[in-house]
Amino acid sequence: MTRRKNSLTLGIHRIEPVNLDDPLVLSALEQARISLANPRLQKILEIRTAIQQFLSNELIAVGYVHPPVYMLAGCTDPLNHWTYPARVNYYGEEVSITQSLILQKILMVMLSPVDKVFWASPNIRMEMRIARKEYKYVSEFMQVDFEKRNGTYDDMLKFISSLFQRLYKFLADQYGEVVSEIRGKALPELAEPLPIFDIQEVKKKNNLPDDDAVERFLSKPAQDKPFMLVNLAREAYDCLDESSGKYLNYDVILPPCGDNPHPVECLSGAERTRSITDLEQRMRDLNYPMEYFAPFFELFSVMDIAAGEISCAGAGFGIERLTYAILGLKDVHEVYPFPRMAESKIAL
C-alpha cells in the first residue's frame, strides 16, 4: 500500500466523537476520575487478578483447555432475559458481539475431540430494565466459563463447591491481610460443602415473591458463607428433568458483607438440555427467534458425532462480581478503573 501525505483514511474518522457538552458524558468522566483515584484500587485489582488466575489454574490442572477468545459471532447466546442487541459491522456483514459463549461451549465438547473446555473471556451484555440493580450490572465483564462432556448436575455441584472451598482457602492463605482490610473481617473457612437450596421450594414454603427475595431470605442465616440455589426457571439450554420436573441448574450466592448490602449471584450453570430436538422445542416455547440460531443447528445436523444427543454440563464465574462480593465493596463498579455503568454513557 502506497501512502501519500494526507491520503490515509482511518476508520476512526467514521466514528462519532465523544460529546463533551453532554452532561452524561461529563458524569462518566467524573466517575472515571473517582475510580482512578480510589486509594484501594491497587489492592482490589490484586485480588481480582488472583481470583481469575486461581480459577484458570484450577481448571487447567484437571484437564480443561482454553481456545482462542471469540468476541464476534453470527450466532451467539442472547440469553432469555431483556438485553439490548449488540451488533457490529464485520467486513460488511452485521454480526453479534458475544454476550455468552455457552452455545460455543456445547458445540466444542459435543462435536470436537475436546472434552473439557474453558474460556476466560470478555462478555458484552447490555442489560435492560435494571431498575434498582445498578450496583451489580455492568455492560462489560470477564467470565471464566467452563464445560465438560458427560458432565452431570451432581458432578458439577460437587466440583463447584470444592472450587469455592479451595478459592477461599487460597485467598485467606495468600491475601488474607488485604482481604480482611477491605471487607472489614477475615474470610470464613468453608469446612463443609456449600449448602444447597431448591429455590422453588423455599419460595413456596416462605411465601416469597421472587428469586431476589429468596436470596435475601437465605443470606440472613448463611453467616457470611456462600450457598447454592438450584431449580431456577430460565434458559432453554438448562436441562428440565422429566422424572423430577426440576431444572438441573445452579447458582452460587454470596451473602452481603462489608459495604455491600446485597446478596450477589457470582456463578451460574447447568446440566444441558439432553437432545437437539428438546433444545429446539424449548427455544420455540420461550419464543427464541429460531432463524438466528440456524448456524448452531446446522453444525449439529451435518456432524453426526453426537447423533443429536447432548451430554454436558458447566458454569461460568463472573470475575468482577465475585471480586465485589468477596471484598464486600459498595458496588461492582469499584472493581473498574473505567466504569461500565449499565444504560449509561461511556466516555473512555
- pLDDT score at 179: 98
- pLDDT score at 1: 43
- Domain-embedded: residue 275: yes
C-alpha cell at 310: 447432548
Which residues of the chain fall short of a pLDDT of 50?
1-3
Please say whether the dihedral angle defined by the alpha carbons of residues 258, 260, 261 and 265, taken in this order, is positive or negative: negative
- pLDDT score at 345: 79
- pLDDT score at 306: 56
Helix axes 41-61, 319-327, angle to 10 degrees: 120
- Domain-embedded: residue 209: yes
What Cα–Cα distance (Å) separates residue 188 from each residue in 168, 193, 236, 261, 310? 8, 13, 35, 18, 38
Nearest Cα to Cα of residue 157 among 99, 90, 219, 227: 227
- Domain-embedded: residue 326: yes
The Cα 281–Cα 243 span in angstroms is 18
- Domain-embedded: residue 91: yes
pLDDT tens string 312-343: 999 999 999 999 999 999 999 999 999 887 76
Residue 185 DSSP code: S
- Domain-embedded: residue 8: no
- Domain-embedded: residue 127: yes
- pLDDT score at 99: 80
We report the CATH number of the domain holding residue 305 as: 3.30.930.10
Burial 228-242 (b: 16+ CB within 10 A, else e): bbbbbebbbbbbbee
- Domain-embedded: residue 1: no
As for how many domains the chain has, the answer is 1
Domain containing residue 110:
20-335
- Domain-embedded: residue 3: no
Cell 454470596 identifies what position?
A: 254
